[in-house]
């Protein structure tokens, strides 16, 4: 799969979650973690401007978030973007875990990992709800593929 879709770097969703945990633990405080997350968002593949529309918009997010999915060879590949830097980073985290995975892997990977990593508690309630909406949109796209 080519850009704008994310190809996984880790072999499994669990490995991706473990890698993210290890990366976040390097930083002593949340300001540094936020900066790291923002940098992840900046590294996302470019999202096509013509996909930045209501058909691709994820409902329930305070910021504008757009996602697209494609099923190829039994795996769901995801692309995403946001108009907010921190939210783009959160999109990048979710895509790192879920993109390029099978429907079974996506269904088996509960987004509770976001809470376990401390991300939900560190975000405003609106952003926390938005991340949950993004995770739900991914799981719905997978179930409907």
Tell me the pLDDT tens digit for each residue of 60-113.
877 899 999 999 999 999 999 999 999 999 999 999 999 999 999 999 999 889
How large is the average pLDDT for residues 23-42?
A: 94
Residue 48 has pLDDT above 80, yes or no: yes
pLDDT of residue 131: 84
pLDDT of residue 139: 93
Whether the Cβ atoms of residue 13 and residue 97 lie closer than 8 Å to each other: yes
Compute the mean pLDDT over every residue in the chain, rounded to the nearest whole number.
91
- Going by pLDDT thresholds of 50, 70 and 90, the confidence category of residue 47 is very high
- Going by pLDDT thresholds of 50, 70 and 90, the confidence category of residue 1 is low
Residue 80 annotated to the active site: no
Fold classified for 13-143:
Sufe protein. Chain: A (3.90.1010)
Q: Which two tokens stand for residue 125?
A: 């309630």
The order of strands in the sheet holding 65-72 is 65-72, 75-82, 101-102
Return the higher-pLDDT residue of 97 and 130: 97
Q: Beta strands 65-72 and 75-82: pairing type?
A: antiparallel
High-pLDDT (> 90) share of the chain, %:
75
- Domain-by-domain residue ranges, the chain? 13-143
Q: Which two tokens stand for residue 76?
A: 């769901």
pLDDT of residue 140: 92
Cα–Cα distance for residue pair 31/17, rounded to 1 Å: 20
- Going by pLDDT thresholds of 50, 70 and 90, the confidence category of residue 14 is very high
| Beta-carbon count within 10 A of 124 CB | 10
Q: Which of 58, 61, 84, 123 is catalytic?
A: 61
């Amino acid at each position: 799969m080519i850009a704008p879709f994310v190809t996984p770097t880790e072999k499994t969703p669990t490995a991706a979650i473990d890698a993210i945990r290890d990366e976040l633990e390097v930083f002593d405080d949340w300001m540094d973690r936020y900066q790291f997350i923002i940098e992840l968002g900046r590294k996302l593949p470019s999202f096509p401007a013509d996909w930045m529309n209501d058909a691709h918009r994820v409902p329930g997010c305070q910021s504008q978030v757009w996602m697209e999915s494609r099923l190829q060879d039994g795996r769901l590949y995801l692309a995403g973007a946001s108009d907010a830097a921190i939210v783009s980073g959160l999109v990048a985290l979710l895509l790192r875990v879920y993109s390029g995975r099978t429907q079974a892997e996506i269904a088996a990977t509960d987004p509770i990992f976001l809470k376990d990593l401390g991300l939900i508690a560190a975000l405003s309630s609106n952003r926390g709800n938005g991340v949950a909406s993004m995770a739900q949109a991914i799981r719905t796209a997978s179930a409907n593929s």
